[in-house]
Amino acid sequence: MENTQASAKTTKLKLDFKDSKYATGRRKTSIAKVWVKKGTGKIYVNGKSMEDYFTSDNHKMQITRPFEVIKQSTEYDVRCSVKGGGPTGQAGAMVHGISKALVMFDEGLKSALKTEKLTTRDPRAVERKKPGRRKARRSFQFSKR
């Protein structure tokens, strides 16, 4: 009985995304492969629904933002494969990918998404640690004596 439950959890959702648009989104060290198609507003991340994958309400709100900007929150279905980074970077990568895919669907949406800066990749990343310092900018404690 336990084997059937385990196998049911490992099976991936089979989603039909044949007539979809593909885009890649990036944020920090996260990469999101996004497929968008006309549908009913369902969002799947790594084979799970968005509500199951992201626990934070901020991340869920952030992911649905491109659809709210274009005022079509239930017009498109999204399938996404995300890897690298943490939940915040992954959510940002998804937003970038969804926005790029929506522009591929309709060039008229580009101006609305661009004014909200959703199609632009956020270049901010973690600064590297420098030699002779404790962190990227933090020095070791100075002792005069």
Residue 38 phi/psi, 5-degree rounding, is -65, 135
Residues 6 or more apart from 62 whose CB is under 8 A from it? Answer: 91, 92, 95
**pLDDT score recorded for residue 88:** 95
Is residue 78 predicted with pLDDT exceeding 60?
yes
CATH number of 17-115: 3.30.230.10
Q: Is the pLDDT of residue 74 over 60?
A: yes
Alpha helices in 11-56 (DSSP H): 50-53
Lowest model confidence (mean pLDDT) among 26-30, 73-77, 88-92:
73-77
pLDDT tens-digit readout, 108-135: 989 999 999 999 999 999 999 999 999 9
Amino acid occupying residue 120: T
pTM, to two decimals:
0.82
Task: Give 46's pLDDT tier (boundaries 50, 70, 90).
Answer: very high
pLDDT at residue 1 greater than cutoff 90: no
3-state secondary structure of 120: coil
Q: What pLDDT is recorded for position 57? A: 95
